[in-house]
Amino acid sequence: MKTGLELFKRFGRTFAVVVLVVAGSTVLVRFAPGYLSDAREMDARYGGVARAELAVEADRSNSVWQMLRTEFGGWATGDLGISRQYEVPVLELITPRLAVTGRLMLWAIVLAWTLSISAALLSSARQNPSMLWQAPAVLLLAVPTAAMATLCLIVDKGGPVLVMTLLLAARDFKFLDRMLRKAWRDPHLLHARAQGLSPLRLVRAHILPGIRSQLLALATLSIVTALSALVPVEVIFGVPGLGQLAWNAAMSRDLPVLLAVTMIMAIAVAIAGTASDRRGTRQAL
């Protein structure tokens, strides 16, 4: 009974977050400069009847409540509405791009964690912090994601996976190095090292179990960071994923597509945060 109630609360919280994100995005898009304008009105190929239809469409888009009813109605039918730009169901646009973005994020997160954990273990094992390990992470954090992607295109080296991997690894390394450096100096670790236990056994049996909840929280942060880097990376490299679709939707004021992508990202962050909280609570108990 308690588990069912807890799951219901988590689902309700996730649903509330998604609804608030969608409502907030709708309001921001509606009151954005130029939303009610349409480039087709100045196109000579559109006759008087077509222009009248565009005017009627603009009148329907004038009310935020009408916009919300239209979007939620599209979700109720299962197709997430009709794209304003492509005039096809939004679900048909998102489904193939979701797989592309998912693979990009999966590879980037796995490679970034492998790189950051390896570097953090080597760096934290030293008695004093070394600039040899800290400088690359600081430099990568100082370079904007778009600038890093543009540099890769100019030199014709690397790609979207490399850019996202370096971005995530630099951020994760700062947290992992701090956590591991503190863990190495715990009294029971110092005693175990004095007893002659190997570093590999110390990491596997003592350090990683002790920081498991913090690692779960950092994993959620990695997902959020990867989602924030999707738009510049996919747009610059021409990756046909959700980030590129969101950029095109924003440029075309395609509200159904923009809301669908925003909803997917909000759900991903909410689920990752919920899973992290649940596992962290179990670990604490």
Question: What's the whole-model pTM score?
Answer: 0.74
Per-residue three-class SS string for 20-33: HHHHHHHHHHHCCC
The per-residue pLDDT for 29 is 67
| Same domain for 167 and 63 | no
- Helix-strand-coil split of the chain, %, nearest 5: 80, 0, 20
Residue with tokens 């989602």: 227
The per-residue pLDDT for 284 is 46
**H helix intervals, 34-85:** 48-60, 64-77
Q: Are 230 and 101 in contact (CB under 8 A)?
A: yes
| Same domain for 121 and 23 | no
The per-residue pLDDT for 281 is 47
Segment 180-187 long-range contacts (CB within 8 Å, at least 24 positions apart) = 180/120, 180/121, 180/123, 180/124, 180/207, 180/211, 181/123, 181/124, 181/129, 183/124, 183/207, 183/210, 183/211, 184/124, 184/125, 186/210
The per-residue pLDDT for 283 is 47
Is residue 276 included in any domain, yes or no? yes
For residue 227, CA distances in Å to 136, 231, 245 come to 23, 8, 13
For residue 142, CA distances in Å to 19, 148, 158, 175, 185 come to 34, 10, 19, 16, 30
CATH number at residue 207: 1.10.3720.10
Q: Which two tokens stand for residue 69?
A: 């009813």
Choose among 74, 68, 79: nearest CA to 21: 68
| Same domain for 99 and 70 | no
Q: Are 38 and 252 in contact (CB under 8 A)?
A: no
pLDDT tens, N- to C-terminus, the chain (285 residues): 556 676 677 777 777 777 777 777 777 766 666 665 555 555 555 555 555 655 565 555 556 666 666 666 666 666 677 787 777 888 888 888 999 999 999 999 999 999 988 888 887 766 666 667 677 787 888 888 888 888 888 888 888 999 999 999 988 888 888 888 777 676 766 666 666 666 666 666 666 777 777 887 788 888 888 888 888 999 999 999 999 998 888 887 777 888 888 888 878 877 777 666 655 445 444
| Same domain for 105 and 164 | yes
Q: Are 145 and 231 in contact (CB under 8 A)?
A: no
| Same domain for 59 and 161 | no
Is residue 204 included in any domain, yes or no? yes
The per-residue pLDDT for 201 is 66
Q: What are phi and psi of 195, to 5 degrees?
A: -80, -5
Number of domains composing the chain: 2
The per-residue pLDDT for 237 is 92
Last residue of a domain, one of 28, 47, 77: 77
| Same domain for 104 and 209 | yes
| Same domain for 30 and 122 | no
| Same domain for 153 and 73 | no
Q: Are 26 and 255 in contact (CB under 8 A)?
A: yes
Please give the residue range of the domain that contains residue 29: 2-77
| Same domain for 234 and 138 | yes
